[in-house]
């Protein structure tokens, strides 16, 4: 029996719409898929109804699989949560991670899990993607440090 | 060209509170009456009512009703920073088109006792709405704990500071300067608040790299300004403050700042050419400023984006005292949003008008040179407004 006296508040769930549904569906399978413009070839992230680079309307999906790595382009450490559901996580890191292994610039936001201290995060730090089951059918891509 | 054809002829405020126990409508009426009196105008002289809000204000038609104005045009746009300059641009467009002749522009909010930008995830701030519209690409950041402007902008600041060598001492220079200005403004929320570098560094982080004093205040208050043609301005009570140039929500190439190849590119990088081009002046001509200061770092970013200094030079520029009353660019001279009050920018514009009109002549609050002034508005890193005015 849980000793928590407060009900746990669920973290926000991504919206469900036709542009982003494939992304989150792939996440539930532990895979990263990215939209790409069939016209100019650039990846489009977050997924959208049009290409922000050429205005093209023909967008396709690339399946990048489960072995995803990147490096930290920027980060913040949140000390005062706005969301009740993050009170127990404070202080927590949110990082904007630039993907390795793609031929253009793609950056994916996530927390960095498994850090000893938030102060261990630095710009340039290598990380690998993992998938976090949030319950209620919600899985989100996350990051963890990649030991070299 | 609209240069010098339009002017701000009146400014006014309500009382400023931590907890007003008043409706936004009540405070807006007070601010508007003060602005009308400042301008020497009657309600019947105004036919356009414009406002910005976050679903936390009163509507412009109601405000008109209880002042004795029947608007021929009213609009309550959703927005925060950048909205004041943007609505001035709208007012000018409406007057040019013959749809209005004189505009009352206001912002009224219980931003401390009611809906607060930095706190409260309940129904006051609807998470679905945040992910759908308020934050472009919101589904890809909100689930990870990014929702507030502080959290959003800190990501941009961290990268900028890493690339340019900007330090926390540089951030501190901004709030220390503006608190000093608030020290001369008895109406500023933080009037009398002193801050040393040690106290700054000892203050808690809100979201790294932003500490408590890097974040602006929150207040309950209303602000109002009145805009009309230069011709009509001649009949008003105070010296007109003429609009030389504007930029209204000029945008970076992607609505989602985090999707830019270079996250440190900001709206001001694009607004700069437009506002200075229209005004026909250079940054070095600006003698007094009101720089949008929701966070200290945002001031540094705009000083660089608008070309007052080169990239990475804003920190040292401020540390050398250049935003102080005896510096090269006295700025946020009533304390700014950092320490005076917070209506997402209008209080900064009101102070700029008072400086350019030389309302403080003969006191320590008057900036020495005020022939050309400038305000900047920050909608987010992604879109900037700006206004250059002259006496």
Q: What is the pLDDT of residues B260-308, one digit of tens each?
A: 999 999 999 999 999 999 999 999 999 999 999 999 999 999 999 999 9
Percentage of chain A beyond pLDDT 90 is: 88
Which residues of A lie closer than 8 Å to B, measured between beta carbons? 11-15, 20, 45-46, 52, 73-84, 86, 89, 91-92, 94, 96, 105, 107-111, 118, 123, 134, 140
DSSP B13-53: E---BSS--S-HHHHHHHHHHHHHHHHT--GGG--EEEEEE
Find which of A47, A72, A74, A118 to mutate to test the B interface (most B CBs within 10 Å of its CB).
A74
Contacts of residue A82 in chain B, CB cutoff 8 Å? Answer: 118-121, 147-148, 151
Mean of the per-residue pLDDT values of chain B: 97
pLDDT digits (tens, 9 = 90+) for B70-99: 999 999 999 999 999 999 999 999 999 999
Instruction: Give the residue from chain B lying closest to A106, CA to CA.
Output: B259
Q: Once rounded to an integer, what is the mean pLDDT over residues B183-212?
A: 98
List chain B residues with CB under 8 Å of A89: 145
For the cut 50, the answer to whether the pLDDT of residue B368 exceeds it is yes
Distance CA A34, CA A61 (A): 6
Any idea what DSSP says for residue B80?
B
Residue B51's pLDDT band, with cuts at 50, 70 and 90, is very high
Sort B98 into a burial class: Cβ within 10 Å, 0-12 / 13-18 / 19+: exposed
- Closest Cβ opposite residue B207 in set A78, A83, A109: A78
Percentage of chain B exceeding pLDDT 90? 96
Six-digit token string for B168: 């926390």
- Contacting residues of B for A76, CB less than 8 Å apart: 146, 151, 154-155, 158, 207-209
B 192-211: CB under 8 A from A = 204-209
Question: Chain B closest CA to A148's CA: distance in Å?
Answer: 23
Q: What is the pLDDT of residue A147?
A: 76
* Per-residue confidence band for A4, with pLDDT thresholds at 50, 70 and 90: very low
| Residue from A14, A27, A43, A76 whose CB has the most chain B CBs within 10 Å, to mutate | A76
A86 φ, ψ to 5°? Answer: -110, 5
pTM of the full predicted structure? 0.97
Confidence at B123, pLDDT banded by 50, 70, 90: low
Cross-strand partners of B17: B220
Q: pLDDT tens digits for B11-34?
A: 999 999 999 999 999 999 999 999
With an 8 Å Cβ cutoff, are A89 and B145 in contact?
yes
Mean pLDDT confidence for B27-54 = 98
ipTM, interface predicted TM-score of the complex: 0.95
For residue B349, give Cα distances in angstroms to B7, B216, B303, B371.
13, 16, 17, 15
Nearest by CB to residue B131, choosing from A11, A15, A77, is A15
Check whether B119 has a pLDDT greater than 90: no
Are A89 and B204 inside 8 Å of each other by CB? no
Strands (E), A1-148: 32-37, 43-44, 59-65, 69-78, 92-99, 107-111, 126-135, 138-145
Residue B338, pLDDT > 70, answer yes
> Which of A46, A94, A123 minimises the CB distance to B256?
A46
Question: d(Cα B11, Cα B1) in Å, to the nearest integer?
Answer: 25
Minimum-distance CB partner of B139 among A20, A78, A82: A20
B270 included as an active-site residue: no
Cβ distance B142 to A78 less than 8 Å, yes or no, reads no
DSSP-derived letter for residue B57 is: S
Residue B67: CB atoms within 10 A of its CB come to 20
B113's CB contacts (< 8 A; 6+ apart) are: B17, B18, B19, B20, B21, B220
Give me the residue label for tokens 């800190």.
B154
Give the ranges where B210-345 is alpha helix by DSSP (H). 230-233, 268-279, 296-305, 314-319, 336-339
Look at the alpha carbons of B303, B111, B10, B184 in this order and tell me if their dihedral is positive or negative.
negative
**Count of A–B CB contacts within 8 Å?**
106
* Residue A1 pLDDT level (bands cut at 50, 70, 90): very low
Residue B174's Cα: distance from chain center in Å?
Answer: 15
**Chain A CB within 8 Å of residue B251 CB:** no
Cis peptide bond N-terminal to A46, omega within 30: yes
B165 close to A (CB below 8 A): no
Q: Which residues of A touch B301 (CB under 8 A)?
A: none
């Amino acid at each position: 029996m849980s000793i928590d006296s407060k009900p746990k508040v669920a973290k926000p769930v991504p919206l469900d719409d036709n542009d982003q549904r494939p992304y989150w569906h792939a996440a539930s399978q532990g895979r990263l898929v990215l939209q790409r413009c069939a016209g100019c070839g650039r990846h489009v992230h977050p997924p959208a109804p049009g290409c922000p680079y050429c205005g093209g309307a023909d967008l396709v999906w690339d399946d990048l699989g489960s072995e995803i790595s990147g490096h930290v382009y920027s980060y913040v450490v949140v000390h005062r949560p706005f969301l009740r559901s993050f009170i127990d996580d404070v202080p927590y890191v949110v990082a904007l991670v630039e993907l390795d292994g793609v031929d253009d610039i793609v950056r994916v936001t996530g927390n960095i899990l498994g850090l000893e201290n938030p102060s261990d995060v630095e710009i340039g730090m290598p990380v690998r993607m993992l998938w976090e089951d949030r319950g209620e059918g919600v899985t989100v891509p996350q990051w963890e440090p990649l030991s070299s | 060209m609209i240069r010098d054809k339009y002017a701000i002829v009146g400014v006014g405020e309500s009382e400023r509170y931590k907890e007003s126990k008043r409706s936004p409508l009540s405070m807006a009426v007070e601010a508007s009456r003060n602005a009308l009196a400042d301008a020497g105008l009657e309600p019947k002289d105004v036919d356009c009512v414009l406002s910005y809000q976050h679903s936390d204000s009163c509507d412009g038609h109601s405000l008109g009703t209880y002042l004795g104005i029947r608007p021929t045009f009213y609009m309550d746009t959703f927005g925060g920073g950048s909205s004041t300059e943007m609505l001035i641009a709208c007012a000018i467009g409406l007057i040019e088109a013959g749809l209005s002749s004189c505009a009352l522009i206001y912002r009224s909010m219980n931003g401390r006792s009611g809906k607060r930008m930095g706190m409260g995830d309940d129904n006051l701030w609807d998470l679905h709405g945040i992910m759908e519209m308020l934050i472009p690409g919101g589904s890809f950041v909100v689930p990870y704990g990014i929702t507030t402007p502080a959290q959003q902008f800190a990501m941009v600041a961290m990268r900028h500071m890493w690339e340019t060598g900007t330090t926390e001492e540089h951030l501190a220079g901004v709030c220390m300067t503006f608190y000093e200005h608030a020290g001369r403004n008895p109406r500023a929320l933080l009037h009398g608040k002193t801050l040393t570098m040690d106290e700054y560094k000892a203050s808690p982080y809100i979201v790294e790299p932003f500490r408590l004093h890097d974040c602006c205040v929150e207040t309950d208050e209303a602000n109002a300004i009145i805009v009309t043609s230069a011709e009509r301005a001649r009949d008003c009570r105070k010296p007109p403050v003429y609009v030389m140039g504007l930029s209204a929500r000029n945008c970076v190439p992607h609505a989602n700042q985090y999707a830019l190849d270079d996250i440190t590119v900001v709206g001001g990088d694009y607004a700069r050419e437009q506002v200075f081009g229209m005004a026909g002046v250079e940054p070095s001509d600006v003698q007094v400023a009101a720089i949008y200061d929701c966070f200290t770092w945002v001031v540094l970013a705009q000083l660089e984006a608008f070309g007052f200094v080169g990239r990475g030079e804003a920190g040292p520029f401020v540390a050398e005292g250049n935003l102080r009353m005896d510096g090269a660019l006295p700025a946020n001279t009533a304390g700014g949003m950092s320490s005076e009050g917070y209506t997402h920018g209008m209080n900064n514009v009101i102070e700029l008008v008072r400086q350019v009109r030389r309302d403080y002549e003969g006191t320590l609050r008057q900036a020495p040179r005020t022939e050309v002034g400038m305000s900047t508005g920050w909608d987010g890193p992604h879109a900037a407004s700006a206004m250059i005015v002259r006496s």
